[in-house]
Structure 1
Amino acid sequence: MAPFVCHDGVMDLTPYVDNLRQELAVAADAGGDEARALAERLTAPLESATRLTLLNALSAAMGEVTRELAPGSVDVRLRGLDPEFVVTPPPAPEPFQEAQTSATAPAAPTPPPPPADADDGAMARINFRLPAHLKGRAENAAAAEGLSVNAWLVRAVSTALDGGERATPPGRGKDSGGRGFTGWVR
């Protein structure tokens, strides 16, 4: 089988589909002329099913990678017939800025405790259809905040469901003046 082929983040599935086609032909040869003819008739319809199965496997694998990279992510997108991988690294930690004196610097706000039903690490996958004009706006908003679209949408849904309590991470609000700590804890 050909090695992993990926150019500019796009993986070429053709070598894997071709390999499966060859394996099917070899297996059909053992069954004689009738089996060989059946394998040839099935090859074309099975190509799209094979690609879909490979895409599902890659998507599940990238879900696992994303869980390990959190808050970074790896998204799998379809470009033509082939998957494209979009890697969003975790945001760089902000440098620690020591306060001038404890009397002149207000204490950093303590973030509220997470709700009882906070993220337990379990992930669920949904298909989400968004009008093109909203998709572009969501991509721009995510890019402006240094987030993947997926991470931005997760935060937007969380904010909507939590009544705005989690809208702004500590140290990023208007009143924080850049003071405080930000980051992620596992």
Structure 2
Amino acid sequence: MDLTPYVDNLRQELAVAANAGGDDARALAERLTAPLESAARLTLLDALSAAMGEVTRELAPGSVDVRLRGLDPEFVVAAAPAPEPFREAQGPVAAPAAPAPPLPPADADDGATARINFRLPAHLKTRAEDAAAADGLSVNAWLVRAVSTALDARERASSPGPGKDSGGRGFTGWVR
């Protein structure tokens, strides 16, 4: 995204305001224009970063990051991972792989987010950052997905599924 038109617009607005103040104000505005350009770019980047933070909270587990390339910001969108398609097993049945974390149902999210303070040991923080980077997610989006996966697994473990009796014992093995 090229910020130059926005910075140029700010420079023009400053010149218009300075014209109303006379020659001294116009000369001062010309001297302030160069230092204000870098401050304006930083302020715009800060506003874009905050906006993309809000977008990322709404897209979780997807994310949008702002990266700086030279003087211009670049948006990087990481979509939520797509679930793997069903494949019929061939040969002996292997133990099922862990399912991809499901997306929350659309009706379960009212759009509100909650902020919490989360204290994490430094070695776990580093591992979480590495895992998030490997998945192409922000740490926040990765943590949202991890919490969702853990809660879903807990719910599945507490409710008996097919092949289980009310005592929660499962039946596995081969039958001839």
Instruction: Please tell me whether the aligned partners of residues 62 and 141 of structure 2 are also in contact (alpha carbons under 8 angstroms).
Output: no
In structure 2, the gaps of 5 or more residues are 102-111, 117-125, 154-176
Corresponding residue of 1:95 = 85
Q: Partner of 2:82: helix, strand, or coil? A: coil
Q: Which has the higher helix share?
A: 2
Q: Partner of 1:36: helix, strand, or coil? A: helix
Instruction: Please tell me whether the aligned partners of residues 67 and 76 of structure 2 are also in contact (alpha carbons under 8 angstroms).
Output: yes
Instruction: Please tell me whether the aligned partners of residues 64 and 76 of structure 2 are also in contact (alpha carbons under 8 angstroms).
Output: yes
CA shift digits 1:91-146 (9 cap, x unpaired): 112335799xxxx988x89x9xxxxxxxx93358xxxxxxxxx9xxx66x5565x3
1:14 and 1:105, CA in 2 relative to 1: closer, same or farther beyond 3 A?
closer
Q: What TM-score, normalized by structure 1, do the two folds share?
A: 0.53
Aligned residues: 129
Corresponding residue of 1:14 = 4
Q: Pairwise CA RMSD of aligned residues?
A: 4.1
Larger Rg: 2
Q: What TM-score, normalized by structure 2, do the two folds share?
A: 0.56
Corresponding residue of 1:55 = 45
> Structure 2 counterpart of 1:83, which letter?
P
In structure 1, the gaps of 5 or more residues are 1-10, 112-119, 125-133, 160-165, 171-186
Corresponding residue of 2:63 = 73
Corresponding residue of 2:114 = 122
Instruction: Please tell me whether the aligned partners of residues 56 and 141 of structure 2 are also in contact (alpha carbons under 8 angstroms).
Output: no
Corresponding residue of 2:137 = 148
Deviation at 1:64, TM superposition (A): 1.1
